[in-house]
Amino acid sequence: MTTTSTQRSTGLPRPTVPVGGGPRRRKHQVRPLRVRRVNKTTYIILSAFLFFSGFPLYYSVVVASHDNGVLGQVPPPLLPGDQLFTNIQRVFDTVAFGKAMWNSLLVSAVITFSVVLFSSLAGFAFAKLNFRGRPGLYVAVIATMMVPSQLGIIPLYMLMAKLQLIDTLYAVIAPSLVSAFGVFFMTQYLSAAVPTELLEAGRVDGCSTLSLFWHVVLPIARPAAAVLGMLTFMQAWNDFFWPLVVLTPENPTVQVSLSTIASGYITDFSLTLTGTALATLPLIIVFAFLGKQIIHGIMQGAIKG
């Protein structure tokens, strides 16, 4: 956090370039000219990377759409087959996959809502309100981003057992309700995007802090909140370690359910990869529509002092 010293009295890191469609107040956007010409080799290298990125996903669809017996053929199939729907049926027959999908949706939605709300509130306070202890508390937020989450797992399990929440979705949701990254992300965005004069004007008109948050800050925060929401949703959907600890195969999330299919003694690849494709599909659909914003968000969130 070397940038802190360059700041005025706030002690907060310098705002980065705004996310998404946020206001652009600086005349010079840091935009490289990028005049360097590239040759064909560049595109070939990039295509190779793209091929390696895409092939495993493509091939999992190929496997998912064939009968398991066909996979042993020489040469193995490289084009999708016609067994996809049969295999999907088998996935739903083998494990509680419908329930798993629903559970994952519920867990991810609640976590996303909570993280976005609490991060916006805390981000607003850190970015725009003056209070004693602010720099210290903000450093504490940054520091907690580095804490390895797996290490508190034993007491967390004991706590959930004591509260009789084992095998419930509450146990999955509770530890993810807030996110240090989210607070950091929203603080960065709001300190650049919300004009302080606007808040002052609101104060003069007699707005309480909460109505400033509601009527001024939230509308401005929307693009960043959307990006944070998408990142959080993906993370919650893909989370595995903790749900595996507290849930059972009868009441799983999608990832837990997948691991159940995959850890059978005789691996039925058509079955497991159909499950994998089903579990990944929702995210790929979201990504297809909003990939640009997600990439933008990751790149913005990455610039740390």
Using CB under 8 A, which residues numbered 3 to 42 contact another protein? 30-38, 42
Q: Given the rule CB under 8 A, which of 4-12, 20-28, 94-102, 279-287 is the region that contacts another protein?
A: 279-287
In the complex, minimum distance from the CB of residue 40 to another protein, in angstroms, rounded to a whole number? 12
Would you say 141 and 127 are in contact if contact means Cβ atoms under 8 Å apart? Answer: no
Which of 170, 245, 249, 251: binder of another protein (CB under 8 A)? 245
Q: Which stretch binds another protein (CB under 8 A): 5-13, 56-64, 82-90, 219-227?
A: 56-64
Output the CA torsion 66→71→73→79 (10° steps).
Answer: 50
Q: Which stretch binds another protein (CB under 8 A): 7-15, 44-52, 92-100, 220-228?
A: 44-52
* Alpha carbon distance 83, 35 (integer Å): 50
Q: Which is nearer to another protein, 98 or 158 (CB)?
A: 158
Between residue 202 and residue 241, which ones bind another protein under the rule CB under 8 A?
208-210, 213, 234, 237-238, 240-241
Residue (23 or 76) nearer to another protein, CB: 76
Q: Which CB atom, from 105 or from 245, has the smaller least distance to another protein?
A: 245
142-150 LR contacts (CB < 8 Å, sep 24+): 142/1, 142/180, 142/184, 144/180, 145/180, 145/181, 145/184, 149/175, 149/241, 149/242, 150/241
Binders of another protein among residues 120 to 149 (CB under 8 A) are 121-122, 124-126, 129-131, 134, 137, 140-141, 144, 146-149
Contacts of 139 (CB under 8 A, 6+ apart): 1
Binding segment toward another protein, per CB under 8 A, in 5-13, 193-201, 221-229, 278-286: 278-286
Find the binding residues for another protein in span 83-122 (CB under 8 A).
118-119, 121-122
